[in-house]
């Protein structure tokens, strides 16, 4: 079994799950790049979700927007 690198351990922490042996066996630089790609994707996803939420909120009557935002958790 391949020894887990620090990059693989960091990726596992980021994912909250164990990394498959095929990924853990990659060179540390590749695993690190994968971790950076996952972080960037999560950042983009969060930004896009916020934009989508704000766009959807525009369809809610203005006096109710604050209540809807609190209920939905935005």
Averaged over 58-68, what is the pLDDT? Answer: 92
The token duo for 69 is 């935002």
Query: How far is Cα 51 from Cα 72, in angstroms, rounded to an integer?
Result: 14
Look at residue 2 in the predicted model and tell me its pLDDT.
54
Q: 15 in a domain, yes or no? A: yes
CA 11 to chain centre: 12
Q: 44 in a domain, yes or no? A: yes
Task: Report the number of secondary-structure helices (H) and strands (E) in the chain.
Answer: 4, 0
Q: How many folded domains does the chain comprise?
A: 1
Q: 1 in a domain, yes or no? A: no
Q: 43 in a domain, yes or no? A: yes
pLDDT tens digits, 1-55: 456 789 999 999 999 999 999 998 999 999 999 999 999 999 999 999 999 999 9
Look at residue 57 in the predicted model and tell me its pLDDT.
92
Q: Which domain holds residue 68?
A: 6-72
Q: 57 in a domain, yes or no? A: yes
Look at residue 74 in the predicted model and tell me its pLDDT.
60
Length of the chain: 74
Look at residue 63 in the predicted model and tell me its pLDDT.
92
């Amino acid at each position: 079994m391949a020894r887990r690198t620090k990059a693989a351990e960091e990726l596992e922490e980021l994912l909250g799950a164990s990394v498959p042996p095929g990924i853990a066996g990659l060179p540390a630089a590749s695993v690190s790049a994968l971790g950076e790609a996952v972080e960037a994707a999560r950042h983009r996803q969060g930004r896009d979700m916020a934009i989508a939420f704000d766009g959807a909120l525009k369809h809610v009557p203005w006096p109710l927007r604050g209540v809807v935002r609190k209920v939905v958790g935005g």
